[in-house]
């Protein structure tokens, strides 16, 4: 077996054999296949796709590259959630403690930013002292004592995916449906959760730009999970507009804490509660009220214990960027469009994301929104504030925001799209 023949097979739109898939995943994990060779194969998969059998085998090979976890010792049923990535998508932060407050255990393995989308671990690392890297024993202990844990997948869990995940981010292959599905599901199946809810984003700020591709991805992942004995459902949710009013690491943590305190933007609260209800139902918990757990402070209590258990200080001040730049509305009227992708790229260019897998991120960088579609704005009023430690990045970020919003005449009727577009189970 050699990597060139594997690349050529997929380049020429052939079907990879089970033996080719098993070999290339194992060889890449062990360093026999180089990054540039796997980049070529990933691009061939992006352009030519994989069939259902190939995706299933690729996922199985990723799982087989490492260990599998087990949560049978817990007294609670387990439920996990995964988002395919969006702009301002801080939902995991309030969701994990909320579901734990309602009686489930939430073993949330999360990742870094991918392209223009933020990473949960990058966000949480803006909290002083918080640790993403936990041993399996530490993870189980935090989960057992607090009900929820958000951490990085250990080195022993699907290590092939860890290498490929970082490579996809810097080679323009993030959007490949087979690679998205296998990346997500290999970690979730190996993780050992009993049930899984998938938040598959649709729209300009998502990797899936149209609902047909999103349904394909969701159906693929639901089938992979179900076939592996994990109760799996997917919600297709709108990502044409950023979620909430912030895109950036510390900015999104601050907004998540507002949600846990019973406030926060209505769209973030709505989606958090919708996903919480799906997770609780999948875990067999039918009498819990997520909205009540947000209102009475019990979700906040779990958040504080969870952050503390991972070395973080829930009372510490969050980082603030040294420089700000305000973008004002160009006209008066009704804001009818605010493009999520443009805002995500802008936040990324300000330092909230990374261009190479080795790059650091700025904790305080990002974009704060002062209006959302449907709001009335006046010419000259602040529309968004850009935050960064490196003011030379403003020009580059502003270029991505050109034409990112529309303002219609005052009195123009506006109806927002629903947040939840479809459900696949």
pLDDT level of residue 238 (50, 70, 90 thresholds)? very high
Coil/strand/helix, residue 357: coil
Other C-beta atoms closer than 10 Å to the C-beta of 216 total 16
Domain endpoint, select from 309, 336, 354: 309
Domain endpoint, select from 265, 287, 309: 309
What pLDDT score does 194 carry?
94
Select which of 65, 183, 228, 400 is catalytic.
Answer: 183
Tally of structural domains, the chain: 3
Select which of 161, 199, 238, 339 is catalytic.
Answer: 161
Average pLDDT, the chain: 95
Region 57-71: mean pLDDT is: 94
Residues 142 and 284 both lie in one domain: yes
Residue 270, pLDDT above cutoff 90: yes
> Which CATH number do you get for residue 377?
3.90.1170.30
Domain endpoint, select from 248, 281, 309: 309
Question: Contact, 334 vs 409, CB < 8 A?
Answer: yes
What pLDDT score does 38 carry?
97
What pLDDT score does 120 carry?
94
Select which of 162, 187, 201, 231 is catalytic.
Answer: 187
DSSP-derived letter for residue 102 is: T
Percent with pLDDT over 90 in the chain: 86
What pLDDT score does 359 carry?
81
Give residue-wise pLDDT tens across range 142-184: 999 999 999 998 878 889 998 998 898 789 898 888 998 999 9
Distances (CA, A) of 278 to 93, 236, 269: 16, 13, 14
Residues 11 and 141 both lie in one domain: no
135 within a domain of the structure (yes/no):
yes
Measured N-to-C along each axis, helices 92-101 and 266-282 cross at an angle, to the nearest 10 degrees, of 50
Give residue-wise pLDDT tens across range 94-150: 999 999 999 999 999 888 876 788 899 999 999 999 999 999 899 999 999 999 999
Residue 10, pLDDT above cutoff 90: yes
Residue 325 is a catalytic residue: no
Question: Any alpha helices (H) in 328-388, and if so which ranges?
Answer: 340-347
Question: Contact, 220 vs 93, CB < 8 A?
Answer: no
Q: Tokens for 143, please give them.
A: 């989960």
Select which of 81, 90, 168, 304 is catalytic.
Answer: 168
418 within a domain of the structure (yes/no):
no
What pLDDT score does 137 carry?
92
What pLDDT score does 116 carry?
82
Residue 33: phi and psi, rounded to 5, are -90, 125
123 within a domain of the structure (yes/no):
yes
> Can you give the residue range of the structural domain that contains 352?
323-408
Residues 249 and 353 both lie in one domain: no
Q: What is the pTM of this model?
A: 0.90
Residue 187 is a catalytic residue: yes
Alpha-carbon dihedral angle through residues 264, 266, 269, 272, given to the nearest 10 degrees: -130
> Which CATH number do you get for residue 97?
3.40.1030.10
387 within a domain of the structure (yes/no):
yes
For residue 34, what are the contacts with CB-CB under 8 A and spacing of at least 6?
none
Give residue-wise pLDDT tens across range 284-324: 999 999 999 999 999 999 999 999 999 999 999 999 999 99
Distance CA 361, CA 34 (A): 26
Task: Map tokens 């250990």 to a residue.
Answer: 154
What pLDDT score does 113 carry?
79
Residues 154 and 299 both lie in one domain: yes
Residues 25 and 110 both lie in one domain: no
What pLDDT score does 227 carry?
87
Coil/strand/helix, residue 181: helix
Question: Contact, 108 vs 148, CB < 8 A?
Answer: yes
Residue 332 is a catalytic residue: no
Which comes out higher in pLDDT, residue 96 or 72?
A: 96
What pLDDT score does 155 carry?
79
What pLDDT score does 207 carry?
85
What pLDDT score does 112 carry?
82
Give residue-wise pLDDT tens across range 318-371: 999 999 999 999 999 999 999 999 999 999 999 998 877 678 899 999 999 999
What pLDDT score does 281 carry?
97
Residue 90 is a catalytic residue: no
What pLDDT score does 264 carry?
97
Select which of 82, 163, 201, 349 is catalytic.
Answer: 82
174 within a domain of the structure (yes/no):
yes
Residues 215 and 284 both lie in one domain: yes
Residue 183 is a catalytic residue: yes
Region 179-203: mean pLDDT is: 94
Residues 90 and 212 both lie in one domain: yes
Residues 305 and 327 both lie in one domain: no
For residue 265, what are the contacts with CB-CB under 8 A and spacing of at least 6?
243, 244, 245, 255, 259, 372
Strand ranges across the sheet with 366-369: 246-248, 366-369, 382-388, 323-328
258 within a domain of the structure (yes/no):
yes
Residues 40 and 175 both lie in one domain: no
Residues 197 and 342 both lie in one domain: no
Of 282, 275, 287, nearest in space to 243 by CA: 275
Residue 421, pLDDT above cutoff 90: yes
Residues 303 and 339 both lie in one domain: no
First CA to last CA distance, the chain: 38
Residues 337 and 363 both lie in one domain: yes
Residue 223, pLDDT above cutoff 90: yes
What pLDDT score does 118 carry?
82
354 within a domain of the structure (yes/no):
yes
175 within a domain of the structure (yes/no):
yes
């Amino acid at each position: 077996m050699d990597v060139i023949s594997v690349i050529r097979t997929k380049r020429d739109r052939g079907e990879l054999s089970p033996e080719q898939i098993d070999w290339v995943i194992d060889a890449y994990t062990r360093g026999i296949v180089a990054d540039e060779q796997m980049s070529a194969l990933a691009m061939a998969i992006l352009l030519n796709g994989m069939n259902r059998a190939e995706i299933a085998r690729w996922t199985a090979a990723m799982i087989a590259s490492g260990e599998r976890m087990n949560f049978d010792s817990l007294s609670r049923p387990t439920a996990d959630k995964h988002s395919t990535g969006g702009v301002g998508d801080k939902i995991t932060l309030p969701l994990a403690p909320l579901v734990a407050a309602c009686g489930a255990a939430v073993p949330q393995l999360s990742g870094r930013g991918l392209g223009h989308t933020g990473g949960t671990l990058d966000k949480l690392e803006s909290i002083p002292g918080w640790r993403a890297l936990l041993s399996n024993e530490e993870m189980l202990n935090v989960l057992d004592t607090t009900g929820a844990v958000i951490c990085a997948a250990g080195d022993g869990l699907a290590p092939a995916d860890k290498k490929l995940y970082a490579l996809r981010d810097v080679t323009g292959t993030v959007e490949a449906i087979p690679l998205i599905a296998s990346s997500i599901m290999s970690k979730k199946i190996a993780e050992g959760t009993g049930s899984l809810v998938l938040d598959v984003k649709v729209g300009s700020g998502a990797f899936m730009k149209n609902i047909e591709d999103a349904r394909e991805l969701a159906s693929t992942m639901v089938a992979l999970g179900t076939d592996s004995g994990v109760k799996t459902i997917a919600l297709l949710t709108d990502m044409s507009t950023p979620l909430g009013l912030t895109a950036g690491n510390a900015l999104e943590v601050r907004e998540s804490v507002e949600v846990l305190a019973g406030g926060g933007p209505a769209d973030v609260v709505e989606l958090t509660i919708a996903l919480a209800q799906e997770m609780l139902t999948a875990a067999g918990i039918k009498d819990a009220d997520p909205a009540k757990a947000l209102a009475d402070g019990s979700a906040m209590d779990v958040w504080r214990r969870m952050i503390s258990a991972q070395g973080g200080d829930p009372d510490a001040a969050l980082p603030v960027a040294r420089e700000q730049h305000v973008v004002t509305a160009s006209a008066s009227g009704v804001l009818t469009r605010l493009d999520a992708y443009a805002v995500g790229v802008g936040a990324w260019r300000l330092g909230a994301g990374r261009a190479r897998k080795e790059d650091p991120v700025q904790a305080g960088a990002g974009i704060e929104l002062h209006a959302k579609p449907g709001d009335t704005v006046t010419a000259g009023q602040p529309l968004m504030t850009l935050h960064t430690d490196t003011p030379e990045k403003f020009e580059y970020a502003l270029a991505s925001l050109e034409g990112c919003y529309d303002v219609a005449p005052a009195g123009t009727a506006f109806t927002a799209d629903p947040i939840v577009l479809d459900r696949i189970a």
